């Protein structure tokens, strides 16, 4: 027993050895909550307070459940495979398998994943002759799942207009179809399990008597239905707890509640404290991850949120280094700084996989990826795809490829029925056979089809021809923008639950084209000879073709949401600008700014040793330069913890360039009479003023503010800038 409790700090020890009672453990970032949970289970079993069969432990990921089981196997001399430890969905599946008859399910009921659910809804709409443009399948799936996660069946759903009333009817039809076919979706697993326990008192009493201790990880992420399910099992299914109910041991951190968009209710923590009459809230505040300056910044930030349960992180590891803050001229400048710092960090001995680049929105990864790719730095996008590998980007590029080459069968096959336009698999097979007989491309074989298939495919061919004509004289960024709009991609993703993020990625593709043309203009001796469309598609293929590097040798890229639960020696938090982080949408949502601040708190507390915060004065948005204000979160950090970084030397506006050699060596500019503050003219961008310079020799470049055309970094060897008096 002494070995089991060894090395626990006083607060951890108090939590692990609590007598049988309801408990709320406020576990700060890096405070050892997983250790407390597993040690609590081992202590309860080892002291004979409960048998292993009397434990129910709920986690939010399968990975966390496996880690907990592995730790318990090392702590306890018993077979832990029989323990009820798992995710909400996993435990509900286990319960329903054991009591399928009582739940009204077949013994071998199947579980629909999100793709299967979408297919089932499409089939339902087709069978009922419902217009899937008026009632998009994805939107209907989101509507159904949101109601189930609130514990609301179709019969209880409210409808304030005819459109919503019809969706409620389709919800009921969908449930009836699933029941006939003996299938359940993910949301149904929890709702069906809750309903089973709610209406079947003998079964409910059985499990209430069996599970004497219920332990919950990441309690701040529970939604309304999950909390109701836990209350049932804990014997709190009435207005007050019942005698002999289970002890509920909830571990969470209200400061790290960042999943409101998934239905998480941070208020569940206060409700638990009140409803279960928790007498003693234990705070785990000693942090074993980060240096003191990082924790002081996190504490200063999060104290601006109202209604917190309250805690202050601290460490005995020392203050550590100051937090570095970089103010870039542009998003490209910011990305170059980040990559340069990464290379220096690796040179200092930091492992690449211990360096994380975090961003608020997935679309931000594109400019970072491009700079890493250009610099030859291996990287991985954690929990997601590289920019050019994302579904929506591949769809847009397929349309772009067809504009350039209609005989591209791969691109044709990808988008001929995306967004859906009534071209089924049989029509595609007929087209493929016709192309094979004629030894032609699918595009050219389309004319041979007749009937309904011929009409549908013909409509797609006319769309491509129209797009080719309309895009013939447009600049590349406008071509992409036009394709996204006229192909139906924008409208399609508007109806998706996660569509906002995909639309941001599509907008970033326009930015990628804009930046690509600028780079082409700066590096090609004669840009007029280049084919911008072909060159951009080749560029996209080259970056997409570089497979993700192995975890052990790659810099980690991820959204802040994906970073939760992880930690790194070095963390860069990029894009700290108003409207981006905090996100514009926060202002439209109740308590939205507080959720964004919690997200920033999570990002800061991922860092162990060194933390970088960066923002840009200008950022490309939808192909246009947007001028940005620094994030308000930066103002909430104590200035004594921060160290401003400026890579550019300070020059006066009138300082002349002495000579080519001196200018290059100083990181200034060329010997053709140019200087910081010099007015210049560019053939493409017009009049501007030089605001910064860097590099030497063939790498010398200047940053010019061209007003309406935005900030541009230009290579002096190719830019052909003309001084203006």
Please work out, in degrees rounded to the nearest 5, the angle formed at the alpha carbon of residue 644 by the alpha carbons of 643 and 646.
140
Given 175, 185, 188, 218, the catalytic residue: 218
Q: Is 559 noted as a catalytic residue in this protein? A: no
Determine contact, residues 605/645, Cβ cutoff 8 Å: no
* Beta bridge pairs of residue 283: 26
DSSP state of 577: B
Q: Is 17 noted as a catalytic residue in this protein? A: no
Please work out, in degrees rounded to the nearest 5, the angle formed at the alpha carbon of residue 441 by the alpha carbons of 436 and 443.
120
- Taking the C-alpha atoms of residue 217 and residue 72, their distance in angstroms, rounded to an integer, is 15
Given 149, 188, 217, 331, the catalytic residue: 217
58 to 29, 61, 64, 296, 549: CA distances (angstroms): 19, 9, 10, 32, 34
536: CB partners within 8 A, 6+ apart: 400, 476, 513, 516, 517
Give the residue among 203, 192, 154 at the shortest CA–CA distance from 176: 154
Tokens of 507: 């907008």
DSSP 332-353: HHHHHHHHHHHHHHHHHT--GG
CA 148, chain centre distance (Å): 24
Determine contact, residues 554/378, Cβ cutoff 8 Å: yes
**Alpha helices for 615-712 (secondary structure H):** 632-635, 660-665
The owner of tokens 């990181």 is: 667
Q: Strand runs (DSSP E) across 132-239, as ranges?
A: 183-185, 213-216
Longest dimension (CA), the chain: 91
Given 34, 354, 609, 624, the catalytic residue: 34
Determine contact, residues 253/298, Cβ cutoff 8 Å: no
Given 40, 283, 390, 606, the catalytic residue: 606
268 to 128, 226, 309, 446, 717: CA distances (angstroms): 40, 10, 12, 58, 62
Tokens of 288: 């074993």
530 to 470, 519, 535: CA distances (angstroms): 21, 12, 7
Element spanning 723, H or E: strand 722-724
Given 11, 12, 33, 675, the catalytic residue: 33
Give the residue among 524, 523, 512, 519 at the shortest CA–CA distance from 476: 512
Q: Is 256 noted as a catalytic residue in this protein? A: yes
Give the residue among 256, 234, 251 at the shortest CA–CA distance from 243: 234
**Do β-strands 642-645 and 379-381 pair in parallel, antiparallel, or remain unpaired?**
unpaired
Q: Is 33 noted as a catalytic residue in this protein? A: yes
Q: How many CB atoms lie within 10 A of CB 134?
A: 9
- Taking the C-alpha atoms of residue 691 and residue 711, their distance in angstroms, rounded to an integer, is 9
- Taking the C-alpha atoms of residue 323 and residue 643, their distance in angstroms, rounded to an integer, is 6
Residues taking part in catalysis: 33-34, 217-218, 256, 606
């Amino acid at each position: 027993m002494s070995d089991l409790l060894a090395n626990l700090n006083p607060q951890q020890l108090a939590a692990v050895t609590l007598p049988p009672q309801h408990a709320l453990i406020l576990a700060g970032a890096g405070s050892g909550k997983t250790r407390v949970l597993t040690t609590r289970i081992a202590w309860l079993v080892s002291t004979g307070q409960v048998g292993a069969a009397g434990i129910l432990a709920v986690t939010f990921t399968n990975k966390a459940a496996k880690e907990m089981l592995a730790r318990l196997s090392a702590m306890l001399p018993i077979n832990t495979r029989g323990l009820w430890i798992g995710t909400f969905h996993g435990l509900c599946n286990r319960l329903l398998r054991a009591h399928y008859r009582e739940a009204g399910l077949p013994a071998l009921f199947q579980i629909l994943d999100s793709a299967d659910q979408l297919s089932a809804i499409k089939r339902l709409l087709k069978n009922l002759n419902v217009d899937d443009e008026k009632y998009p399948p994805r939107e209907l799936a989101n509507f159904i799942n949101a109601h189930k996660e609130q514990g609301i069946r179709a019969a209880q759903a409210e409808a304030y207009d005819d459109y919503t009333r019809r969706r409620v009817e389709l919800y009921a039809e969908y449930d009836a179809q699933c029941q006939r076919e003996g299938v359940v979706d993910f949301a149904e697993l929890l709702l069906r399990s809750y309903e089973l326990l709610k209406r079947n008192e003998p079964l409910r009493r059985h499990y209430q008597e069996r599970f004497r201790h219920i332990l919950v990880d990441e309690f701040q992420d529970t939604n309304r239905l999950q909390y109701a399910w836990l209350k049932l099992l804990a014997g709190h299914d009435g207005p007050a707890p019942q005698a002999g109910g289970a002890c509920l041991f909830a571990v969470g951190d209200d400061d790290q509640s960042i999943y409101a968009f998934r239905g998480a209710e941070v208020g569940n923590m206060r409700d638990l404290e009140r409803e279960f009459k928790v007498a003693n809230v234990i705070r785990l505040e000693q942090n074993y991850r980060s240096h003191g300056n990082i924790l002081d910044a996190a504490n200063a930030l999060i104290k601006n949120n109202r209604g917190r349960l309250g805690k202050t992180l601290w460490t005995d590891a020392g203050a550590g280094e100051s937090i570095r803050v970089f103010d870039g001229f542009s998003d490209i400048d910011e990305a170059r700084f980040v990559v340069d710092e990464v290379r220096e960090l690796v040179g200092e001995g930091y492992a690449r996989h211990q360096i994380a680049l975090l961003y608020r929105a997935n679309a931000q990864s594109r400019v970072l990826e491009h700079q890493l790719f250009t610099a030859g730095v291996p990287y991985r996008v954690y929990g997601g795809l590289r920019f050019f590998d994302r579904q929506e980007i591949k769809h847009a590029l397929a349309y772009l490829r067809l504009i350039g080459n209609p005989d591209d069968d791969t691109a044709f096959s990808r988008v001929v029925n995306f967004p859906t336009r009534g071209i089924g698999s049989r029509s595609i097979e007929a087209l493929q056979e016709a192309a094979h007989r004629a030894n032609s491309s699918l595009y050219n074989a389309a004319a041979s089809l007749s009937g309904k298939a011929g009409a549908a495919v013909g409509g797609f061919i006319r769309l491509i021809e129209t797009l080719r004509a309309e895009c013939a004289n447009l600049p590349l960024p406008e071509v992409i923008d036009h394709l996204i709009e006229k192909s139906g991609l924008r409208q399609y993703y508007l109806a998706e639950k996660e569509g906002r993020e995909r639309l941001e990625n599509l907008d970033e593709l326009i930015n990628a084209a804009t930046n690509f043309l600028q780079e082409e203009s700066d590096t090609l001796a004669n840009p007029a000879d280049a084919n911008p469309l072909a060159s951009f598609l080749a560029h996209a293929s080259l970056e997409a073709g570089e497979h993700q590097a192995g975890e052990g040798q790659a810099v980690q890229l991820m959204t802040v949401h994906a970073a939760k639960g992880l930690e790194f020696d070095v963390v860069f938090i990029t894009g700290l600008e108003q409207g981006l982080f905090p996100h514009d949408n926060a202002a439209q949502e109740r308590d939205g700014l507080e959720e964004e601040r919690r997200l920033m708190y999570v990002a800061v507390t991922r860092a162990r040793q060194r933390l970088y915060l960066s923002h840009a004065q200008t950022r490309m948005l939808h192909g246009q330069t947007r001028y940005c204000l620094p994030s308000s979160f930066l103002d909430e950090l104590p200035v004594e913890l921060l160290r401003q970084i400026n890579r550019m030397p300070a020059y006066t506006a009138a300082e002349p360039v002495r000579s080519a050699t001196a200018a290059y060596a100083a990181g200034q500019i060329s010997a053709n009479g140019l200087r910081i503050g010099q007015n210049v003219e560019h053939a493409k961008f017009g009049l501007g003023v030089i605001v910064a310079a860097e590099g030497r020799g063939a790498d010398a470049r200047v940053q010019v503010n061209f007003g309406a055309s935005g900030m541009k970094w230009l290579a002096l060897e190719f830019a052909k800038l003309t001084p203006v008096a």
